[in-house]
């Protein structure tokens, strides 16, 4: 049974930092992109960052470039999202997800096959 378990969310003031973790278990097939998405109330789920498994190429939404960093620890089957200089507009539920085929797109929600349950990030001004 494939499981993606996010952790590390919480409440911080603007300018603060959080590090999200996503631990993968029960999966032994190919992984291409490992991505982080976020969804605020009433909005669509949007791609935040992704990393191409094994190669390490990283991709970011314009809104988080220079503030967020995605990384992975293959030994722990874990992907991280370091979030610095947080802003109130970063407030959302954050999800991690994986693709099992090369689709050429890290941003499209529908290209991801497995999802975690999400972790809430709240940034106050």
Provide the percentage of residues in the chain whose pLDDT is more than 70.
Answer: 100
pLDDT surpassing 90 at residue 14: yes
Segments in 1-125 forming alpha helices (H): none
pLDDT for 102 equals: 85
pLDDT surpassing 90 at residue 111: yes
Give the confidence band of 37 by pLDDT, cuts at 50, 70, 90: very high
C-alpha distances (whole Å) from 60 to each of 1, 3, 79, 89 are 29, 24, 14, 16
C-alpha distances (whole Å) from 82 to each of 27, 64, 71, 94, 112 are 24, 11, 8, 12, 21
Give the confidence band of 28 by pLDDT, cuts at 50, 70, 90: confident
pLDDT for 27 equals: 85
Sheet holding 78-83, edge to edge: 3-7, 18-25, 78-83, 68-73
């Amino acid at each position: 049974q494939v499981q993606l378990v996010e952790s590390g969310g919480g409440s911080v003031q603007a300018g603060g930092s959080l590090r999200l973790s996503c631990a993968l278990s029960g999966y032994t097939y190919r992984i291409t992109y490992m991505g982080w998405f976020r969804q605020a109330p009433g909005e669509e789920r949007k791609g935040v960052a992704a990393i191409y498994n094994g190669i390490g190429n990283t991709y970011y939404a314009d809104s988080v470039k220079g503030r967020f960093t995605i990384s992975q620890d293959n030994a722990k089957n874990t992907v991280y999202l370091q979030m610095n200089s947080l802003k109130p507009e970063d407030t959302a539920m954050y999800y991690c997800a994986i693709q099992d085929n090369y689709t050429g797109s890290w941003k499209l929600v529908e290209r991801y096959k497995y999802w975690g349950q999400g972790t809430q990030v709240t940034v106050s001004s």
